[in-house]
Amino acid sequence: MREKILHKSAELFLTLGFKSVTMDDIANEMGISKKTIYVHFPNKTKLVEAVSFNLFDMICDGIDAICEKAPNPIEELYSIKMYVMKHLKNEKASPQYQLKKYYPKIHSVLKFKQFEKMHQSVQSSLQHGVDTGVFRDTIDIDFISRMYFTGMTGIKDNMFFPPEQFGMDYLMESYLEYHLRAIVSQKGMTILNNFINKNQI
């Protein structure tokens, strides 16, 4: 039952936002009583925390699986982008923003975990790109991986990128291309251009 509650809560939180969804909403959607939820989660904050970390772990596992199979670091980043977008439902309700505003402690811990995971993952990907000649061998891997995280976090800031003006899919696509064009070698540029041309609708 705990897993079912986590799954349904995640679905509602990502679609409607952490603030908007009540324990009553979750109970009604599942056809159970609020008491059943409270058996597993003493309050909404604990439920939000469990959902956030559960989603994080699931996305990390998915990213690890993508990294193992990707033919090159360029397609790897695009596959990760698609995977994250699919699981975060384009962040229609700006869950990151709501988490930061209404649950700042959870947001702070989660952001640090995200940074650790992404920093390690991107560093590994960058090194692989340098080793295979897809990225320039002069790039500063530690600096670039930190910049990548900063940029990915920055495009989710509604103050800088109002959602009515910029869709999240457009932002992630544009930032990814911006990031890659700054670091690819000539060989990487060919792979990137071919990939973009092949995947344009």
Task: For 12-28, write each residue's pLDDT tens digit.
Answer: 998 888 998 999 999 99
Helices 2-16, 23-30: crossing angle, 10 deg rounding: 120
Confidence of residue 89 (pLDDT cuts 50, 70, 90): low
DSSP conformation letters of 100-136? HHH-HHHHHHHHHHHHHHHHHHHHHHHHHHHHTTSB-
Report which of 143, 121, 137 is spatially closest to residue 70, judged by C-alpha positions: 121
Pair 83, 62: CB distance under 8 Å: yes
What is the model's pTM? Answer: 0.79
Mean pLDDT of 30-46: 96
Pair 56, 113: CB distance under 8 Å: yes
Task: For 108-158, write each residue's pLDDT tens digit.
Answer: 999 899 889 888 999 999 999 999 999 999 999 999 999 999 999 899 888
**CATH number listed for the domain at residues 52-199:** 1.10.357.10
Task: For 3-16, write each residue's pLDDT tens digit.
Answer: 999 999 999 998 88
pLDDT of residue 122: 92
**Host H or E run for residue 154:** helix 141-154
Confidence of residue 93 (pLDDT cuts 50, 70, 90): low
Q: Kindly tell me if the per-residue pLDDT of 92 is higher than 70.
A: no
Task: For 157-177, write each residue's pLDDT tens digit.
Answer: 889 999 899 988 899 999 999
What number of other Cβ atoms are within 10 A of residue 129's Cβ?
25
Give the Cα separation of 195 and 201 in Å (integer): 12
pLDDT of residue 138: 97
Task: For 50-85, write each residue's pLDDT tens digit.
Answer: 999 999 999 899 999 999 999 999 999 999 888 887
pLDDT of residue 91: 52
- Please state, for a pLDDT cut of 70, what percent of the chain lies above it: 96
